[in-house]
Structure 1
């Protein structure tokens, strides 16, 4: 057997917007980048999920597929988690999981020492509470996938859930606990979900998959040649920028959108000539896709009255509720089966039994052109972050934090002037033709039209207060001349 076949390569699928977890999850900062279930973000937990898996050789770093707009956020979170050397494939636009896995497979195939690794596709926004059980399931699946099958993981159902698709188990696969897939079922109504639970041979569809690189490429080429052709052309024209792999934008944007399930898994039983078996491994590992706020309530620790409390919370007479604060005190009195989620710029109050409908609120906000579906008040950038703490007619006040050694772009504005006051750290300022240092409690004024730049030359975060004044204060009034992060003209929408 080829040694390369024994390598397990994690593929972290980092797309999705998590609209049901609004207002904490936004388009520019979706749920996979949030620390919802613990101290680490969901992306970090996913990327570290195979640590301690000793029976199978695992690649040193994963392949991560994410939206190009999230590239710096993803890279910084991996670095914070101690994960180095990950290949980050940037989707110009979301096209669902089948094209994403195809990009990852083509990237794995292109690497000089990649061989034919077994890919483990893991969405970055899932929770796995019991890692030993998860690792055991991975070991079961690996032998089957390494032998040429495509394996998914089915969650052992403990209730008649209507929010998931189901997988019907067929005959047992020779070995340890896996089954050939008899059929797939769409999300059922309550009566049908109960019948699946009573039958005992139906599992929830988890969205986790394991397949050898060459097997996936053969399957997608046969089942969805249009997706295979578009992804192959996009990767053939890809540009590499350090850890980032950028598929050709125009070519990939023409790719049809489809999921792994629809594009391939449901196709395999109808195409026996391919010789690729579709199999499922039962999984009992405290899995949740955190699809809505009620799911977060289930996975968080609860008090004796069934309340899950996150952040600065005080309550009296509440039961079976989720109370979450991100910036201010939240006080609850006499609440039952209620979700309260506080952010700096929006508050959600919902019946816990109707949290799936939060997506309808997001839809209404989008129709109204409201930016609260897209961004938080606090905006993350590759150099740090800023928080718009106050604004009014012709002025805006921001708190800006620049990471050690980082720098904003060399830029100018047509419609606003800026006043910078250093609160903490040391700033290196370019202001017109002058370059100078500012210490704490020192300030400078940037006149309208002046070329300027802010850099942190120190070892600690630089914090400044920026007061903007002018006739137009939106973020697209930026002309970049130089930028460390590749955002120079004509990429106007990042500060």
Structure 2
């Protein structure tokens, strides 16, 4: 029996656009002729997988269909939520549809993750397929590249059958705590699951009977039109809105881990997005987008919907003007050197891999006091992303009017 991939595609992307009413769902953001959903759909084309099932809500139906067509996927099912109820009802409702046999292995992907070395990933899944039972759950851990407070962690111990049993979850710890967890060989919790249909049913029956009953009714009363299940709203609305982690993972005892050392990110912050562009910047650089200034130069790498990605190179002793913006906020990621940053009344030195957020309207400046160039990846976020949106207060190159 092949593995059935299920793509959870209901996220709203609010973390990236905290002050925007028109925030974009992360899985649909065009990062340069590709989206995270494109990458996820591409993953499901591997030979170990059967046709994909996409769990989403009616707000995103057209975008999901456009992505399926673009990626030339004709054999699929969509399970459509009438309203948001978090990941527990989404996972259960999708597993309950009649297309899925009782002992079917299901691989739950998030639509907004960036994963590399998929051959390693798929090999690990296939290796653990025979270990699935009607009770257990396999979750995916990623070996941390650095202590991060943006991800949850888990710690495991080896048990019979060379299985890594999860003994503890740590939810988004502060950096100091994250360092301790990594010393205990803790892994990032990627939020992806490998599980059989009957295990999902058994876990929800035992641990979340109310969610189970309402989701069963929502699927039973669902309308099936061509390849889309329209879940029954009257039943689905009664399913308690809970995450799968809180509803099941924190309560069940039979959780095992598939631990991977591969490049992975959920691109859940502008720091992670800037890292991604920094690693792939040669794909985006064009000579016509390089602009020289008295302090050095900048390159426009990619302009998306209400965001612009740049690389700034500040020459030794170079100083940008003391300035502010009316229409944009900025995120900076230092990739080389030790710039001196002014942010309103504060001054501080930043190191490589450190991130700074410049809120809308803040007075700010970058200086390079060193002998080597400073490099900074910048994301501008806002409605107007032009150089005309600069109000200068001081400038050593005489550009204050």
Shorter-chain TM-score range: 0.7 to 0.9
> Alpha-carbon deviation of 1:170?
1.5
- Describe the shift of the 1:196–1:308 C-alpha distance in structure 2 as closer, same or farther (beyond 3 A): farther
CA distance in 1 between partners of 2:288 and 2:91 (Å): 40
Structure-1 residue corresponding to 2:5: 10
How far did residue 24 of structure 1 move? 12
CA distance in 2, matches of 1:83, 1:217: 28
1:118 corresponds in structure 2 to 105
The DSSP-based 3-state class of the residue aligned with 2:43 is coil
Match of 1:155 among 137, 142, 163: 142
Closer, same or farther in 2 for the Cα pair 1:137/1:299, shift >3 Å?
farther
Cα RMSD after superposing both structures: 3.4
Say whether the 8 Å CA contact 1:314–1:330 is kept in structure 2. Answer: no
Query: Residue 264 of structure 1: CA displacement?
Result: 1.0
Contact 1:117 1:213 in 2 (8 A): yes
Give 1:188's aligned residue: 173
Equivalence for 1:197: 182
Displacement, 1:348? 4.1
- Residue 452 (structure 1) aligns with: none
Deviation at 1:349, TM superposition (A): 2.0
TM-score (norm 2): 0.72
Deviation at 1:260, TM superposition (A): 1.5
From 278, 296, 305, the counterpart of 2:273: 296
Aligned match of 1:34? 29
What does residue 290 of structure 2 align with? 314
2:249 to 255, 265, 274: 265
State the match for 2:231 in structure 1.
247
1:355 to partner: Cα distance:
5.6
1:327-353 Cα shifts (integer Å, max 9, x gaps): 7998776569xxxxxxxxx75423442
Could you tell me which runs of 5 or more consecutive residues in structure 2 were left unpaired when the two chains were aligned.
Answer: 316-326, 334-354, 361-382, 385-401
1:87-126 alignment runs, 5 A limit: 87-107=77-97, 110-111=98-99, 114-126=101-113
- Kept in 2, the 8 Å contact 1:89–1:104? The answer is yes
Instruction: Give per-residue Cα distances to partners, 1:381-432, cap 9 Å, x unaligned.
Output: xxxxxxxxxxxxxxxxxxxxxxxxxxxxxxxxxxxxxxxxxxxxxxxxxxxx
Match of 1:134 in 2: 121
Alpha-carbon distance in structure 2 between the residues aligned to 1:285 and 1:161: 16
Range with bigger deviation, 79-88 or 140-149? 140-149
Q: CA distance change for structure 1 residues 14 and 148 in 2, over 3 Å: closer, same or farther?
A: same
Structure number with bigger Rg:
1
1:197 CA displacement: 1.4
Q: In structure 2, what is the Cα distance between the partners aligned to 1:311 and 1:66?
A: 41
Aligned match of 1:225: 209
Q: Kindly indicate whether the alpha-carbon contact (under 8 Å) linking 1:28 and 1:69 is maintained by their aligned counterparts in 2.
A: no
Match of 1:291, SS state, is coil
Q: Which residue matches 1:51?
A: 45
Query: Match of 2:379?
Result: none
CA contact (8 A) 1:118 1:146 kept: no
Distance 1:250 1:196, change over 3 A: same
Question: 1:258 aligns to what SS in structure 2?
Answer: coil
- Distance, in Å, in 2 between the alignment partners of 1:297 and 1:76 is 27
Distance 1:308 1:293 in 2: 17
Segments of 5+ residues of structure 1 without an aligned counterpart are: 1-5, 270-276, 337-345, 359-375, 378-495
Residue 192 of structure 1 deviates from its aligned partner by 0.8
CA distance in 1, matches of 2:90, 2:359: 27
RCO higher in structure (CA 8 A, sep ≥6): 2
User: CA distance change for structure 1 residues 356 and 165 in 2, over 3 Å: closer, same or farther?
Assistant: farther
User: Partners of 1:206 and 1:292 in 2: how far apart?
Assistant: 15
Q: Deviations over 1:291-319 (max 9, x none)?
A: 01111122235489x99869984344368
Mapped contact 1:313–1:330 kept (Cα < 8 A): no
Q: Is the 8 A contact 1:118 1:211 kept in 2?
A: yes
Instruction: State how far apart, in whole Å, the 2-side matches of 1:91 and 1:310 are.
Output: 43
2:15 aligned residue (20, 28, 51): 20
Contact 1:10 1:122 in 2 (8 A): yes
CA shift at 1:29, angstroms?
4.5
Write the distance in 2 (CA, Å) between the matches of 1:251 and 1:355. Answer: 43
**1:408-487 map, 5 Å:** none
The change in CA–CA distance for 1:331 and 1:69 in structure 2 (over 3 A counts) is closer
